[in-house]
Amino acid sequence: MTASARAQRADDAIAVSGEFAFSKADFREIAKFVKDTSGIELSESKASLVYSRLAKRLRARGLKTFAEYRDTVANDDGERDRMLSALTTNVTKFYREIHHFEHLQKLFRGPLGDAAKRGERIRIWSAACSSGQEPYSVALSILSVIPDAPKLDIKILATDLSSDVVNHGRKGLYRAEELQDIPADVRKRWITPVVVDGENQFSVSETAKALITFRDLNLMERWPMQGPFQIIFCRNVVIYFDQPTQAKLWQRFATLLSPSGTLYIGHSERLSGPAVPQFRADGITTFQLLKGAAR
């Protein structure tokens, strides 16, 4: 058997057995597309996950093969977004990693709150907002300290790769079980029970929504905002990128932070690359940009 024939046989080998044929070549093509468009790396150990999540999309589109699905994704931005949403783990909850929000409130009881009350511009970026729990936790944390925050120049930008989860966040509707980590006094003041399509849900108040602007954004592409941001949350997403991409992102965040600005990262993440000497630790996975750091 020639080398090319052996390579072809390897490409044709079944990666996952199931309703649809899913070869190693199918997996590699999908993994390459995901890496090129989102920066997310999918190792071969993720083949079963990729199959199980995308098989649902094949059924929904009435497709028979993964080759057909790849062609569909390449020519349909909406399906590309659904694929990326299916393959990214949107695990989130209100007040996830509570120490970050305690730190945030401390800042707003101190220098940031004082600056806001003087009429200064305060900007916060939730760079992987998923379905909205993170930016709403930020907004509720600020409101708990400064109830009239919407009257001040305080704005939160909430972005994510998936337009589906961004739209979910923009609506601000959640089930009762999703609210369990919100303090009772905060729920009472800024969360309202509503009925949507006959289902009991809960809506974040318009007061909290007024602080947030939701936008689609791929972190691998050009960032249209100029900054500076006093605070950036980028948690539990960079871990899915390779090391060079991680280092590049940390540096890009550093250039958008104001002097002494704060970067919150995920519990499994670590700063790397040229950004490291520009920050000092200011708490658990909390970093402050050093004054005079290169911008």
Catalytically active residues are 53, 160
**Residue 95, helix vs strand vs coil:** coil
By the 8 A CB rule, do 109 and 141 touch?
no
By the 8 A CB rule, do 12 and 25 touch?
yes
Report in angstroms the alpha-carbon separations of 213 from 124, 126, 216, 255.
10, 10, 10, 21
Most distant CA pair in the chain, distance: 77
**Residue 280, helix vs strand vs coil:** strand
For residue 43, give every residue at least 6 positions away whose Cβ sits within 8 Å of its Cβ, in sequence order, or none.
Answer: none
